Amino acid sequence: MSSIVLYTDGACSGNPGPGGWAWVCLSGTEVREGYGGEKATTNNRMELMAVIDGLSTVEARFADKSLQPGTIEVRTDSQYVKNGVTSWIQSWKKNGWRTASKTPVKNRDLWERLDTLSLRLGARYVWVEGHAGVAWNERCDELARKGVVEHS
C-alpha cells in the first residue's frame, strides 16, 4: 500500500469562459499528471473537474484489487472544493441538494460525482495556499492554464 497525494487546480479565462483543470498525482517515486478543459465553463467547475479526473485516474489505477492505495490526500487551493466536500455537502444532501438559502446547489452534477469518488476512495482534503511557491500546486496551475489555452 502506498500513500497518494493528489494536487489539483482549475483555471478560467473569464468566468464563464474557456477553462482548464489539472492534477498531479504523487505515489512513492511515481509522478503522474493530467489536464483538460472546456470551451465555456466556470472556475468552480474546473476546480471540481480537476479533483474528479484525478480521483478517477487513481481509482482506475487501483482497479486491480491486488494493488490498493493507502491514504489518498487531495491538496487543493480551492476553498470552494475543500469546504464543499468536507462540510457543506452533508447539508446539501440532507436538504435535497438545496443551500441554506433554499436555492439549488450549483454544479450539483459534479458534486455528486466527487462525493461518490471521495467516499469510495476515502480521500482526505487539505487546503494549500495558491501561488505561494508550493511546487506541485504551481505545476497544476501551469497545466490548468495550458488547458485554458487549448480550449480557447
- Among the listed residues 36, 77, 84, 151, the single catalytic one is 77
**In angstroms, how far is the first alpha carbon of the chain from the final one?**
40
Active site residue 10: yes
Q: Is 41 helix (H, G, I), strand (E, B) or coil?
A: strand
- Among the listed residues 9, 38, 54, 84, the single catalytic one is 9
Active site residue 109: no
3 vs 74 pLDDT, higher one: 74
Active site residue 115: no
pTM of the model: 0.94
Which pLDDT does position 131 carry in this prediction?
82
Q: Exposure string (b/e) for 82-118, b if CB count within 10 Å is 16 or more?
A: bebbeeebeebeeeeeeeeeeeebebeebbebbbebb
Residue 132: exposure state from Cβ atoms within 10 A (0-12, 13-18, ≥19): exposed
> 114-140: per-residue pLDDT in tens?
999 999 999 999 999 888 888 999 999
Active site residue 9: yes
* Ordered domains of the chain (ranges, CATH): 2-150 (3.30.420.10)
99 vs 67 pLDDT, higher one: 99
The pLDDT of 8-24, averaged and rounded, is 96
> 38-95: per-residue pLDDT in tens?
999 999 999 999 999 999 999 888 776 555 667 899 999 999 999 999 999 999 999 9
Active site residue 47: yes
